[in-house]
């Protein structure tokens, strides 16, 4: 017989479910803003989002929530007051406490003002990016950085102000720990990149032939049929910037973008966002409203998207199955291209200006660049006016190239306009965790290549569900890495994966 939950715990679950429902509505508004909303509705949507954001914050920090929480746990020591709680209940309680203590520090007025600022800033950023006009965006970025610094002071930190922002996206990491991991990874990647640059180049120009929108939509549909998505609970739309957003484990939306001269961008976008979607759809509905029905962190989230986009989506077995389909859809572009050349071409390593179009070897260098700049902006050692110059200098240092415009440089990402400082490191950390998961998957399924080549992808989703999805916030990224691989989150598996793969592709 299952032990009955304390009344206070049940009340907290009900209260938390209401908060998560409000967050789902907020996500729906944000998704609509990025896909369908008319330009003239920007101000009204800004008002709606800022109001809802402040309402959610008020609920999270309400006296009612605090009253029930204090019956279960000491807010000063975080120690439970109730004995006999299950491991799952203890994890839920710990996450609720962490959330309350952090959110309570932030005044509702601050949350509302920041939401209003970022709603407006994201629209200005879009115009600045389109017009290649950094000066248009700079004043808004300065306001966001000023408020982000205020946020670090409100939340508090021990070693670096960036810690307070990073914690929101990756609680298991500190700035110093990320610096340590990125330092070793940076040197290894630069050496591998230079080695590849000295090898014989791969001619992949056929990948940039024009493909009309209707044909690319057909490719989308064919790809979605191959992926192990729970079709009744998700949908695909078109947007300027590909993204994934989930309202519930039974409601996940993904988008892609159509680039006429880069049909592979569409394919990799779908694979990436589908990885996010599978994670959200795999969360346990029975824990809806609690941290156990929420993603562990953005590092874990990105490990899922990058796993499907790169480790599976750029693998030879995947294309052994899917290439005949795409080849028949694009006979003009691919009829004379053998699979071996296609595989090498989609894995071409060429330093590029745009992060989302980057190859596997250089991708993490794009993230390291952003991480280094973010730290300086938040600490105040880099001024907003100098950002384009600092960006270009780091591009030259890491890649040996300089962006010809700010649109292809410091204006390319939406994240800073949304106030998402501390987010970028999770992209690289997600790559590292994805490689560690891949290492564990190979050990359990030594014939994985044969199965994928036959079109069987569901066993991977089920493996991820057993090891990642079903646990929600029960474990953090470092704990997941140790549980599944026996190693803490680190760069070794990722670099070994890259070295083995690209040494073979480039015969180096």
Domains of the chain as residue ranges with CATH: 7-105 (no CATH), 175-506 (1.10.1370.30)
Beta-bridged to residue 246, according to DSSP, are 252
Please identify which residue in the block is written with the tokens 């039974």. Answer: 250
Helices (H), ranges, 314-414: 316-329, 331-334, 339-346, 360-379, 387-399
Q: List the one residue out of 312, 258, 257, 308 whose CA is nearest residue 281.
A: 308
Q: Whole-model pTM?
A: 0.94
Q: What is the pLDDT of residue 40?
A: 82
Distance CA 399, CA 353 (A): 9
State how far Cα 376 lies from the chain centre. Answer: 22
> DSSP character for 244?
E
Distance CA 71, CA 126 (A): 47
Distance CA 450, CA 70 (A): 54
Exposed/middle/buried for 355, CB within 10 Å: 0-12, 13-18, 19+?
middle
Q: Nearest 5°: CA angle at 465, between 460 and 468? A: 110
Over residues 17-68, the pLDDT tens digits come to 999 899 889 888 877 777 767 878 878 888 888 889 899 999 999 999 999 9
Helices (H), ranges, 36-86: 42-60, 63-72
Q: What does residue 234 show for φ and ψ, rounded to 5 degrees?
A: -145, 165
Q: E strands along 139-295, which residues?
A: 234-238, 244-248, 251-256
Beta-bridged to residue 255, according to DSSP, are 237
Catalytic residue, from 68, 167, 273, 374: name it: 273
Q: What is the pLDDT along the chain (508 residues), one digit of tens a residue?
A: 356 788 989 999 999 999 989 988 988 887 777 776 787 887 888 888 888 989 999 999 999 999 999 999 999 999 999 998 999 999 999 999 999 999 999 999 999 999 999 989 988 998 999 999 999 999 999 999 999 999 999 999 999 999 999 999 999 999 999 999 999 999 999 999 999 999 999 999 999 999 999 999 999 999 999 999 988 999 998 887 788 889 999 999 999 989 999 999 999 999 999 999 999 999 999 999 899 999 999 999 999 999 999 999 999 999 999 999 999 999 999 999 999 999 999 999 999 999 988 999 999 999 999 999 999 999 999 999 999 999 999 999 999 999 999 999 999 999 999 999 999 999 999 999 999 999 999 999 999 999 999 999 999 999 999 999 999 999 999 999 999 999 999 999 999 999 999 999 999 8
State how far Cα 407 lies from the chain centre. Answer: 21
Q: What share of the chain is helix, strand, coil (3-state, %, to 5)?
A: 70, 5, 25
Q: What is the pLDDT of residue 93?
A: 95
Whether 273 is catalytic is: yes
Q: What is the pLDDT of residue 3?
A: 63
Q: What is the pLDDT of residue 1?
A: 39
């Amino acid at each position: 017989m299952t032990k009955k939950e304390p009344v206070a715990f049940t009340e907290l679950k009900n209260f938390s479910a209401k908060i998560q429902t409000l967050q789902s509505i907020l996500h729906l508004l944000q998704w609509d803003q990025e896909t369908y909303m008319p330009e003239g509705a920007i101000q009204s949507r800004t008002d709606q989002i800022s109001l809802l954001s402040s309402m959610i914050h008020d609920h999270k920090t309400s006296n009612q929530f605090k009253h029930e929480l204090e019956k279960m746990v000491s807010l000063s020591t975080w120690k439970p007051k109730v004995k006999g709680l299950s491991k799952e209940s203890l994890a839920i309680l710990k996450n609720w406490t962490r959330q309350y203590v952090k959110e309570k520090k932030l005044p509702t007025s601050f949350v509302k003002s920041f939401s209003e600022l970022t709603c407006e800033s994201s629209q200005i950023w879009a115009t600045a990016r389109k017009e290649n006009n950094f000066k248009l965006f700079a004043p808004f970025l300065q306001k966001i950085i000023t408020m982000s610094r205020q946020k670090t002071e409100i939340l508090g930190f021990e070693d670096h102000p960036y810690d307070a922002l990073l914690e929101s996206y990756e609680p298991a990491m500190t700035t110093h720990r990320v610096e340590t991991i990125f330092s070793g990874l940076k040197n290894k990647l630069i050496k591998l990149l230079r080695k590849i640059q000295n090898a014989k180049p791969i001619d992949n120009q056929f990948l940039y032939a024009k493909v009309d929108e209707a044909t690319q939509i057909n490719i989308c549909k064919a790809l979605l049929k191959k992926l192990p998505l729970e079709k009744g609970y998700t949908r695909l739309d078109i947007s300027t910037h590909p993204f994934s957003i989930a309202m519930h484990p039974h409601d996940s939306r993904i988008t892609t973008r159509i680039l006429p001269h880069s049909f592979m961008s569409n394919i990799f976008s779908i694979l990436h966002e589908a990885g996010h979607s599978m994670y959200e759809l795999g969360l346990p509905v029975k824990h809806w409203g609690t941290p156990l029905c929420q993603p562990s962190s953005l590092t874990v989230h990105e490990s899922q998207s990058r796993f499907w986009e790169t480790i599976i989506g750029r693998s030879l077995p995947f294309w052994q199955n899917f290439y005949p389909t795409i080849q028949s859809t694009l006979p003009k572009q691919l009829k004379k291209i053998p699979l071996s050349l296609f595989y090498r071409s989609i894995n071409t390593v060429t330093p590029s200006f745009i992060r989302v179009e980057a190859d596997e070897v250089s991708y993490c260098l794009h993230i390291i660049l952003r991480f280094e700049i973010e730290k300086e902006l938040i600490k105040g050692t880099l001024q907003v006016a100098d950002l384009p110059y600092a960006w270009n200098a780091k591009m030259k240092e890491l890649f040996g190239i300089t962006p010809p415009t700010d649109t292809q440089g410091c204006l390319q990402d939406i994240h800073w306009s949304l106030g998402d400082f501390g987010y970028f490191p999770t992209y690289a950390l997600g790559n590292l965790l994805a490689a560690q998961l891949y290492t564990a998957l190979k050990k359990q399924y030594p014939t994985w290549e044969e199965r994928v080549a036959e079109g069987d992808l569901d066993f991977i989703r089920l493996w991820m569900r057993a090891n990642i999805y079903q646990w929600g916030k029960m474990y953090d990224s470092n704990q997941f890495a140790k549980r599944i691989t026996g190693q803490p989150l680190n760069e070794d598996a990722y670099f070994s994966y890259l070295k083995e793969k690209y040494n073979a592709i480039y015969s180096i």
